[in-house]
Structure 1
């Protein structure tokens, strides 16, 4: 059953990834993500439905436009594959909870809990949404060093609605208090350095911090603290590595959004064991 959940969400991720390619290209340019239909940037021919199948179409066309034969960047199938992989990771993480609520834990039949099942499914949707945000905003930030409000700000509304519904359906409303604290605390934590040194921290990072803090806080204090701290650790390590390999200089701007997301997912998947291990290391547990 877990394989079925993972396979379904992986296929869904490939489809969503195809749409994220459109979002990542058009939103920074102020273009509509609905119209016009996708077309070859070289010859202008509209992409046919059969040529719009995620990954497979690119492979069958050997990475070239059907009409003008100009090369199509491998960036597009890579984004689709990354989104699919991210969706699978989230699904495998939450699948045991979903199957347990459905009375199918460990392959055994049991009594289903409809409210709990609905809550876990909504929770899955919430974190799949976060996975999609991770891919598209990281892609945009790396390309143009921006985190567009048109994508970041709806994250507050969508995240709040989904997480609130999940917490109430699962009978765990206390999650919402920590989520609210995480949202406000993370926003302020990033806002201070952005105010003191605007060249080093942009407001896009500050706004994104609130969204990530909400999701992390929903899961718990350990995930929140580890997720926020890990972003700076990962960002520092990546920055040092880039300078060592001479990909950047000390004054070269480095997009911080991808490292914020990396830190958040470290907190989501490993916040509890990492926090516990640290406390034991320093003798506080």
Structure 2
């Protein structure tokens, strides 16, 4: 029975991943995510249903549009696989219940936000607020989650104002602060701080590379915050024990 549920959860995840690809492409362009049906960005030809099957469709088409031969990014099946894996990981921790829906919803939305941030260095408030709202309901302690979100957002805003003043440029985007609220609601204050540290540590090497290679001072930060959050959420017991060992 458990194996059947795992298969169901993975298939559900890759289907959601297919929808995320639509969200990632259309929302930044302010297009409807419902109409029109999926079509080739190059020639506008409608994508046939059997070509739109998650993961398999990309391989059937050999990564090219069936009509014009335009290349289809491999990122599409990668997003689908990642979303399927996220669904399985969340299921293994929460079981198949309402908290699976809310926790998976948060991480799926963070994945979409991460990809959009990579592409545009900005994220839509609609998705960011969706992740934050879902995070309030990831446990039974809804008011406590809300309070933790406020504390993290307030703290990050305070840091933003001070650092921006001293370095004479924007130190942190508003989108990052909303994600901070999501982290607080989802993880609690202590674990959210750990996730912030891990996300920042992971971002160091890409940031240096980006500065040297592209002479770009701006690095999308939300993908690293999301990754740090996911790592800490998965191993929350370990990180909480580590926190207790260090700080008592």
Deviation at 1:73, TM superposition (A): 1.0
Structure 1 outlier segments of 4+, above 6 Å? none
TM-score, length basis structure 2: 0.88
Q: Distance in 2 between matches of 1:255 and 1:266?
A: 18
**Secondary structure class of the residue paired with 1:208:** helix
Q: C-alpha distance in 2, partners of 1:273/1:80?
A: 29
**Residue in 1 that maps onto 2:149:** 183
Q: CA deviation at 1:80?
A: 0.8
TM-score, normalized by length of structure 1?
A: 0.78
Q: Deviations over 1:72-124 (max 9, x none)?
A: 111111111111111111111223xx5xxxxxxxxxxxxxxxxxxxxxx1111
User: What is the 5 A alignment of 1:173-252?
Assistant: 175-196=141-162, 197=164, 199-217=170-188, 224-243=189-208, 246-247=212-213, 249=215, 252=217
Equivalent of residue 261 in structure 1, options 201, 221, 226: 226
Q: Partner residue of 1:141?
A: 117
1:273 to 218, 238, 244: 238
- What's the CA shift for 1:177? 3.8
Quote how far apart the aligned CAs of 1:61 are.
1.2
Conserved? CA contact 2:103–2:134, under 8 Å: no
SS at match of 1:188: helix
The answer as to whether partners of 1:216 and 1:227 remain within 8 angstroms in 2 is yes
* Paired position in structure 2 for 1:10: 10
CA offset digits 1:4-54 (Å, max 9, x no partner): 222111111111111111111111111111111111111110111111000
Q: Secondary structure at the match of 2:47?
A: coil
Partners of 1:208 and 1:230 in 2: CA distance: 11
Give, in whole Å, the separation in 1 of the partners of 2:209 and 2:18.
34
The structure 2 residue matched to 1:124, chosen from 91, 94, 100, is: 100
Q: Secondary structure at the match of 1:265?
A: helix
Give the secondary-structure state (helix, strand or coil) at the position aligned to 1:33.
coil
Structure 1 unaligned residues grouped into runs of 5+: 99-120, 168-174, 218-223
Superposed, which structure 2 residues align to 1:13-24 within 5 Å?
A: 13-24=13-24
Measure how far apart 1:225 and its partner are.
1.4
**How many residues are matched?**
242
After superposition, the Cα gap between the structure-2 partners of 1:35 and 1:128, relative to the gap in structure 1 and judged at 3 Å, is same
Name stretches of at least 5 consecutive residues in structure 2 with no aligned partner: none
Instruction: Give CA-to-partner distance per residue, 1:157-214, whole Å, 9 cap, x none.
Output: 4443x44xx62xxxxxxx2343122111111121112223161200111122212211
Cα drift, residue 142 of structure 1: 1.0
